[in-house]
Structure 1
Amino acid sequence: MKKVYLIFALLGTALFSCEPMDDLQAEANEVIDNTLTAGEASYTLAEEDYEAVGIDATEGFNSYEQAQTLVPDVLNNAFPVYQNGTSIITSFNVYDPIVPTEYSVTEEDYAAVENEVGYFVSTSKVQDFLEYKFEGAENGDIVELTYNAVANEITFDISAEDFDLIEEELGDTYPDAASSAANYSNFDRREGTDAYWSNDMILEAINVVLLENLENVEGQPYNVSYAIFDGSAGTESMTVEFNGNKYVPAAGVTSYEITDADFDLIGERFADEYPEPASSAANYNNFDIRNGNPAYWNEVMILEALNVVLSENFEDAEEGAMFEVSYATYSGSSGTGMISVIKEGDEYIINTNPVPVATVETTNVFAYTGDSWNMPITLTSENYTEMGQSEPIFDDEEEALYKIGIYLGRLYPYALSGSSAVVAYNLDSEESIRYTLFTLQDGEWLGVPQVIEATLQFAKTDGVWVPDNTIKYSLTGSDYGTIAAALEDEYPDPVSSMENYSNFDRRNGNAAYWSDEMLEEAMIILLNSIAPNAEVGQKYEITYDVYNGSNITETITLIKNDAGNWVRFVED
């Protein structure tokens, strides 16, 4: 009634004042808003609230911790005279991005999955490891994994600019040879001439070029091609790898990865012999290894295909040349296979004694979607262009989610409802990568916004607004059943009474009596049922019906402690 009297008082004043009615109404509202002495209210932050505490309203707070620090200032401004004991359920925006979990595979990890070589030979082996290491992964979880992998050989061509660099760096050591290399953009291989380049000199020149142009990843092999002159123009190549200090000749094995063009070649060459597998390989750029499938490629067939590819790409390979060949596979999900081969006569056969392969430490991002780990879909420049973007970035999240949703619909036209995918894209700049989980719902791919609305309760205590995560909960009929199922053997009479009347008998001395300790035990059982994954520090204020001669209610407050147990909460 107090608020009603205030309104009448203010309206009465209007009869004898010249103040406009709007001003009087505003004053009335202000008085009403600021007379709450105890109880609960709710409030959603407005744009001016964010601005008042120096926050961009479109992004919101950058963490819950920041919100807990700054929201009290907002509440002080909005409700300056609210009294102690008041609780306000406050809604606000929080920037909650998906941040990959960084993990580096250790020697113990390799041993745990019986990997004796200490590196992964294929993507499928990495996926198997992730299944083992992150057994409890949930849809949308992302891991940035650092691990040792087979280093596929990368080609590098020495350019005219590189030959200029060689003269600049080696001109004092090999004046005639370096001058000739810069003038003609080649290495003179005519022995006996002043401009002659030996293999060791060329290796020095390669070091000059690669150390300047590459990231110098230890173990990564490069097949370096360069122009020569030995009486006529030609080319040569040298395979080198970085040993942590400089580039040295690589081991006698060549790593090669089957390309999309190679799969096209396979589709063409085996169209008559293996029509369905060949068509599948050319269409999907992989070998289907699902046994029993019409497109199935067995190991013998794959070896045949690799013979065609290696013969096409390495015409001059000599007897005994060894290759580690990796290729894309499909077994229900995308993966990678690898075969070690050696040239024997005119064909390549399985190499039963391969030399140690070159490995390199690599880092890749994997996302758990559905029931498997795969690399996120990373948008290319062409994808952005298709979506109408002039640059490979999006200006805001709303635009990104909308356009990527359409793109996924075209990419997966037959996906089932509930399917999910993680997409990596650039927001605001090419360095600003976001990972977003998309799920197919009612025919639309919907992305999870990274700016989300959060709710947090604040309580005014000693004149200060403090975060209060207390959840207020009142028992329902099913809750009494949960408690009964757990305690009926231990407390038969109290439980029987509770089930019959849906309350707790609090008459001391009665056979159905529930003591404080018994009630606490009952509520712990209930919370373990309804909130099994509650975080440490979560509080529940539970209200339940009791009978002490009259039908009333009581309340108990429990909190989850550092040990993960529910205990009675007592104010300091």
Structure 2
Amino acid sequence: MKKIIYSITLILAVTLVGCNPLDDINDDIDANKAPISGDVELTLTDEDYDDLELSFPNFNSEDQAKELIPGLLTDKYPALKDNSSALVTYALYSPKREERSLVRYTVSDEDYDDLGHRFGNFDRESEIFEFLEWKYPSPEDRTLVSLTYDFYSGSTNTFNNGYLYIDGSWEEMIGFTNEEYQTMGEGFPNFSSEDEAAEKTPILLLDKLKFDGYAAGDIVGTMYKLFVTDVDDIDMDGRTDDRTTYSYVKYFIFDGANWSEYNDVLSQQLQFGHDGTTWVPDNTIKYTFTADDVALISDAFATIYEGPADNVGFFGSFDRRSGSSNYWNDDMLLEAFNVLLDARNPSAEDGQKYVLTFVVYTGSTGNETKSVIKEGGVWVYQ
């Protein structure tokens, strides 16, 4: 009844006084709601980046995201307070550098001899990088070497791959064979335009890299060729108005199913928690036990805590009655959490946090929650 009277009072105030728009009053009400705890997932939009007064719809660094996102969360979810969490997906500007200059080179018999490769080929990937460091001891940053060489792996084959010098080290750029250009519908071992390279290369990569174990988010560099005017006299014939083959770098990113051209922006996630005052970066994972989790714990402790392990496996709940012979005390639970989390997240680093929710029996069934953190390689209570 009080709520109804309050609403009528607000309407009368707006009608009679007219000094505040109804929307502003509703905003004030929302901002002063009783604090609640909740979990949200948010993917930032172009409008969100505009609200943050960023020139582009992405962050320049993870630190910038950690600095600016809390304010945005406060504006979007004013009622969410202590123990709330937010999983935020955002765009991170992460450019991959392309070539500034090009060198075309075919490894000679003398080169192989000078480096002690008496069979006239390389047979380990590391030997290619050793050759590059020997041949080009002080290259300019972003020099691309279009390298043709012989490689032995059961039989000797000739390859042409790119090697880009970036920030003091060489990075391989995957090249394409004459046959692969033909597969992509080209009459010559080159593309007719950059757009064509961007369109056709992802299709080829699906087959070319299908057994190489790439996962979602992996990025590969490729070297593709165009037949263009030789403005830099790459073929060293003294002319800059003739035509020759230039090599260029282009990157592609895998989403787990398909490759696409990489646009220098990565999709990243950050988790935030509300500490009662503000939103702070937080790696806490909220996890609810499954039947498989309970079975794993029951099996793992069958010979250590026979009664409690058998009981939890049968009923699916941890007996938390201190007088029961099947009682799981806090220390026993922590042992179980260690076994479970080491199995479910074996690569978790120190500092990783979990909020674990599991079914308990205290005379009736219900849920209990415990918070743990990994320290010194083991899980301990927070």
Report the TM-score range of the alignment, normalised by the length of the smaller protein: 0.5 to 0.7
Does the 8 Å contact 1:416/1:440 carry over to 2?
no
Match in the other structure for 1:355: none
Q: In structure 2, how many angstroms separate the alpha carbons of the residues matched to 1:46 and 1:495?
A: 48
Q: TM-score, normalised by structure 1?
A: 0.45
8 Å Cα contact 2:202/2:259 also seen in 1: yes
Amino acid at match of 2:303: D
RMSD: 4.7
Select the residue among 214, 217, 221 that pairs with 1:423.
221
Q: 1:11 to 1:447 in 2, by over 3 A?
A: farther
- Rounded Cα–Cα distance in structure 1 between residues aligned with 2:93 and 2:121: 33
Q: 1:459 to 1:484 in 2, by over 3 A?
A: same
Instruction: Report the Cα distance in structure 2 between the residues aligned to 1:364 and 1:290, rounded to whole angstroms.
Output: 26
Shift of 1:83: 4.3
Q: Which amino acid aligns with 1:147?
A: E
Match of residue 45 from structure 1: 44
- 2:194 is aligned, of 387, 410, 413, to 387
Residue deviations 1:381-412 (CA, integer Å, cap 9, x gap)? x96752349xxxxxxxxxxxxx6242343x56
What code does the residue aligned with 1:45 have? L
Please give the alpha-carbon distance, in whole angstroms, between the structure 2 residues aligned to 1:14 and 1:385.
68
Q: Cα 1:508–1:27, aligned 2, differ >3 Å: closer, same or farther?
A: same
Deviations 1:347-370 (A, max 9, x none): xxxxxxxxxxxxxxx95313xxxx
Q: Aligned equivalents of 2:60 and 2:367: distance in 1?
A: 41
**Contact conserved, 1:98 with 1:450, CA < 8 A, in 2?**
yes
1:513-549, Cα deviation, whole Å (9 max, x unpaired): 1111110000111111111122332111001111122
The worse-fitting range, judged by mean Cα deviation, of 450-459 and 523-532 is 450-459
Residues 54 and 564 of structure 1: CA distance in aligned 2, closer, same or farther (over 3 Å): farther
- Structure 1 residue 329 corresponds to structure 2 residue 157: yes
Matches of 2:23 and 2:367, distance apart in 1: 39
Q: Identity rate of aligned residues, in percent?
A: 27
Distance 2:207 2:75 in 1: 53
Contact 2:43 2:88 in 1 (8 A): yes
1:25 CA drift (Å): 4.8
Residue 460 of structure 1: how far off its partner (Å) = 3.0
The residue type equivalent to 1:407 in the other structure is: T
Distance 1:55 1:434, change over 3 A: farther
Distance, in Å, in 1 between the alignment partners of 2:123 and 2:59 is 40
- Give the SS at the match of 1:147: helix
Report the residue type matching 1:491 in the other structure: Y
Q: Provide the residue aligned with 2:378 in structure 1.
A: 565
What does residue 171 of structure 2 align with? 365
2:63 is aligned with what amino acid?
E
Q: Which has the higher Rg, Structure 1 or Structure 2? A: 1
Tell me the SS of whatever aligns to 1:365.
strand
- Aligned pairs for 1:60-209 (under 5 A) are 60-79=58-77, 83-96=81-94, 124-127=122-125, 129=126, 147-148=130-131
Find 1:545's aligned residue among 340, 355, 359.
Answer: 359
On the 8 A contact 2:123/2:151 being kept in 1, the answer is: no
Residue 353 of structure 2 contacts residue 374 of structure 2 at CA under 8 Å; is this kept in 1? Answer: yes
1:404 paired residue among 198, 202, 207: 198
**CA 1:510–1:83 in structure 2 vs 1: closer, same or farther (change >3 Å)?**
closer
Contact 1:541 1:558 in 2 (8 A): yes
Q: Could you say which residue in structure 2 is the equivalent of 1:436?
A: 252
Give, as a single letter, the amino acid of the residue that structure 2 aligns with 1:91: T
Alignment gaps of 5+ in structure 2: 98-113, 140-146, 162-167, 177-188, 225-247
Say which SS state the counterpart of residue 130 (structure 2) adopts. Answer: strand
Distance in 2 (alpha carbons) for counterparts of 1:501 and 1:385:
68
| Structure-2 change in CA distance of 1:26 and 1:54 (3 Å) | closer
Matched with 1:14 is: 11
Conserved in 2, the CA contact under 8 Å of 1:506 and 1:514? yes
Letter in 2 for 1:492: E
Q: Which amino acid in structure 1 is aligned with residue 200 of structure 2?
A: I
What aligned pairs does 1:231-242 form with structure 2 within 5 A after superposition?
Answer: none
Give the paired residue count: 311
Deviation at 1:437, TM superposition (A): 3.6
Distance change >3 Å, CA 9–CA 522, structure 1 → 2: same
The equivalent residue for 2:238 is none
Given that 1:423 and 1:437 are in contact with CA atoms closer than 8 Å, whether structure 2 keeps it comes out as: no
Cα deviation, 1:43-99, whole Å, max 9, x if unaligned, reads 4434344345453443x1233222112222323444567544444443322235579
Q: Give the partner amino acid of 1:469.
A: N
The answer (yes or no) to whether the contact 2:83–2:273 under 8 Å persists in 1 is yes
- Cα distance per residue 1:207-227 (max 9 Å; x no partner): xxxxxxxx8869xxxxxxxxx
Q: Distance in 2 between the 1:500 and 1:484 partners? A: 9
Equivalence for 2:308: 494
**Partner residue of 2:185?**
none
Q: Which runs of 5+ in 1 are unaligned?
A: 100-116, 131-144, 153-214, 219-256, 260-285, 292-327, 337-361, 367-374, 390-402, 427-431
5 Å-filtered alignment, 1:263-412, equals 290=154, 329=157, 363-366=169-172, 375-377=173-175, 385-388=192-195, 404-409=198-203
Q: In structure 2, do the counterparts of structure 1 residues 414 and 493 end up closer, same or farther at CA, with 3 Å as the change threshold?
A: closer
Q: Secondary structure of the residue that 1:552 maps to in structure 2?
A: strand
Shift in alpha-carbon separation, 1:434–1:450, aligned structure 2, 3 A: same
Contact 1:36 1:83 in 2 (8 A): no
